[in-house]
Chain A
Amino acid sequence: NAGVTQTPKFQVLKTGQSMTLQCAQDMNHEYMSWYRQDPGMGLRLIHYSVGAGITDQGEVPNGYNVSRSTTEDFPLRLLSAAPSQTSVYFCASSHKGAKNIQYFGAGTRLSVL
């Protein structure tokens, strides 16, 4: 009964470092998304995917890369971390026919010093 699993839960980076946030879902959902959550701004879409091999940019894509080689996994890569990327990151997935009902992971809290 795992649902959407994100790792790590917490991470501290120095400016300029790179890292990958992992996201995996076991519900065979076609759609997956990455959001960042900042105080007073709700959740903002970074990148999304409609299936393996297909990704597209969301509202705030700069500084982030994604790929989707399998249906289950959707990693988010920070190429060169900046303090402005300090945030809580959520991965979500949804079934193609489920009217945009999204299931969320527990989040990764990232601090960039």
Chain B
Amino acid sequence: AQSVTQLGSHVSVSEGALVLLRCNYSSSVPPYLFWYVQYPNQGLQLLLKYTTGATLVKGINGFEAEFKKSETSFHLTKPSAHMSDAAEYFCAAPPNAGGTSYGKLTFGQGTILTVHP
């Protein structure tokens, strides 16, 4: 079964600095990959997704992620952090890479992003 690992449970950056949140997946079969964001006391919102095609994926709020099969990674980046980016970010993938997952997702442990003025 697919597993998803996020490196770093907490990341702290200054406003205007680069944001880099790391995610690695386990499957040898390229899966669908997702980043979700959770603002305080809210549900999860889809930030961006990789399904097939272009490996550099652009999402909402200036975030993007690059699918790298050779590194089994899907790291999330944003060139310049804003105070409003402070949230928890989750990387996710279907549990059965290459097969039917019936809408289910396996999530990473989450990374809390703090943005300092």
Q: Smallest CB–CB gap between B113 and chain A, Å?
A: 15
* A104–B43 CB distance below 8 A: yes
Residue of B nearest to A107 (CB): B43
Tell me, yes or no, whether A101 is within 8 Å of chain B by CB.
Answer: yes
Q: When the two chains form their complex, are residues B9 and A106 in contact, meaning their CB atoms are under 8 A apart?
A: no
Complex CA distance for A36 and B44, rounded to whole angstroms:
12
Question: CA of A104 to CA of B45 in the docked complex: distance in angstroms?
Answer: 7
> Is B44 in contact with A90, judged by CB distance below 8 angstroms?
yes
Count contacts on A: residues with CB < 8 A to the other chain. 30
Using Cβ atoms and an 8 Å threshold, which residues of chain A touch B90? 42-43
B45 A40 Cβ-Cβ under 8 A: no
**B32 and A100 contact, CB distance less than 8 A:** yes
Docked pose: A32 CA to B104 CA in angstroms: 8
Check if B63 is an interface residue, CB within 8 A of chain A: no
Contact B103 A94 (CB under 8 A): yes
A101 touches B107 (CB 8 A): no
Number of interface residues of B (CB under 8 A): 25
Contacting residues of chain A (18-38) with chain B, CB-CB under 8 angstroms = 29-33, 35
Let me know if B49 is at the binding interface, CB within 8 A: yes
The minimal Cβ–Cβ distance linking B103 to chain A, given in whole angstroms, is: 3
Nearest CB in chain A: distance from B61 CB, A:
17
Chain A's nearest CB lies how many Å from the CB of B91?
9
Smallest CB-CB A-B distances: 6 pairs? A31-B103, A42-B107, A94-B103, A104-B43, A104-B44, A43-B107
- Whether B110 and A42, one on each chain, are in contact in the complex, defined by CB atoms closer than 8 angstroms, is yes
Q: How far is the CB of B26 from chain A (nearest CB, A)?
A: 14
What CA separation (Å) do A28 and B90 show in the bound complex? 26
Contacts of B105 in A (CB 8 A): 33, 43, 45, 100, 102
Chain A nearest CB: distance from B107 CB in Å? 4
Decide: B104 and A40 in contact? CB cutoff 8 A.
no
Question: How far is the CB of B23 from the nearest CB of chain A, in Å?
Answer: 11
CA distance A10 to B94 in the complex (A): 29
Asked whether, in the complex, the Cβ of A106 is within 8 Å of the Cβ of B109, the reply is no
Nearest-neighbor residue (CB-CB) of A9 within chain B: B41
CA distance A102 to B46 in the complex (A): 8
User: With a CB–CB cut-off of 8 A, which chain B residues contact A106?
Assistant: 42-43
| B44:A41 contact, CB within 8 angstroms | no
